[in-house]
């Protein structure tokens, strides 16, 4: 690290769990963030600020006025811009040393696996079950850790699947392979603005822990009740009959 980096990341260097070695791991790492809406906004900004060396941002949607209630990486001036490119602009202003690749496309299964293999960690910040299943399958095939988040109304969910470990469960161990896409639609159900920031920031924290080696990744699945301010955690084990884990 040069002098500017030592100053920029000085608050990380003061943490014995990170120190210089952990910060260098962050600088050498890459994160794939799929979905640059509410969750992805917080996750991308914090990972860029934390010094993750390369971010690949994937989103085929464009910024709309209704997004600005919660998707804080975008601005009114960038309405109509592709979300991935809008996010790249914000990250460049925050930390120009962070290398960013913006992909304005819907990745097919093969492309998802290729991107997952390039990444040190994958963050699923999407809001549809079909996307979550595809991302999970790609991470299982690539053996890349997956940090999954969800937020709807006043309820949030966080799960970490460290797929580098043979015994680790995957998203399909929890939910199976069939579900309703509309069940997670903010457009249909609404969502409290700060909630996506809470969950997206937690995704960034778990990804940073995985990349730097600090602490232990969150185990199982955690749910957050924003109306009561309560977290609950549930343990999760690998399903021996999981139809996705067989790809390992």
Give the closest residue to 165 by CA, choosing from 93, 67, 103, 236: 236
pLDDT tens digits for the chain (248 residues)?
899 999 999 999 999 999 999 999 999 999 999 999 999 999 999 999 999 999 999 999 999 999 999 999 999 999 999 999 999 999 999 999 999 999 999 999 999 999 999 999 999 999 888 899 999 999 999 999 999 999 999 999 999 999 999 899 999 998 887 665 555 566 677 999 999 999 999 999 999 999 999 999 998 899 999 999 999 999 999 999 999 998 77
Tally of domains within the chain: 1
Task: Give the separation between CA 129 and CA 181, rounded to whole angstroms.
Answer: 5
Query: Which domain, by its residues, includes 32?
Result: 3-247
Q: CATH code at 132? A: 3.40.50.720
Farthest-apart Cα atoms in the chain, separation: 52
């Amino acid at each position: 690290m040069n002098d500017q980096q030592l100053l920029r990341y000085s608050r990380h260097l003061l943490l014995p769990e990170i120190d210089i070695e952990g910060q260098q791991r962050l600088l050498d790492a890459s994160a794939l963030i799929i979905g640059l809406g509410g969750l992805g906004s917080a996750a991308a900004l914090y990972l860029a600020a934390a010094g993750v060396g390369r971010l690949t941002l994937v989103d085929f949607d464009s910024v709309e006025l209704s997004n600005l209630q919660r998707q804080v990486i975008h601005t009114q001036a960038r309405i109509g811009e592709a979300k991935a490119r809008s996010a790249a602009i914000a990250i460049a202003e925050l930390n120009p040393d962070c290398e960013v690749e913006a992909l304005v496309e819907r990745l097919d299964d093969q492309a998802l696996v290729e991107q997952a293999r390039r990444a040190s960690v994958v963050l699923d910040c999407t809001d549809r079950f079909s996307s979550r299943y595809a991302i999970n399958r790609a991470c299982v095939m690539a053996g890349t850790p997956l940090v999954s988040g969800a937020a709807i109304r006043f309820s949030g969910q966080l799960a970490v699947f460290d797929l580098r470990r043979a015994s680790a469960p995957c998203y399909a161990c929890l939910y199976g392979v069939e579900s309703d896409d509309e069940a997670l639609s903010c457009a249909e159900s609404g969502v409290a603005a700060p909630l996506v920031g809470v969950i997206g920031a937690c995704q960034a924290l778990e990804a940073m822990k995985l990349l730097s080696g600090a602490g232990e990744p969150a185990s199982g699945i955690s749910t957050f009740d924003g109306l009561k301010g309560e977290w609950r955690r549930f343990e999760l084990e690998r399903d021996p009959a999981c139809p996705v884990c067989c790809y390992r």
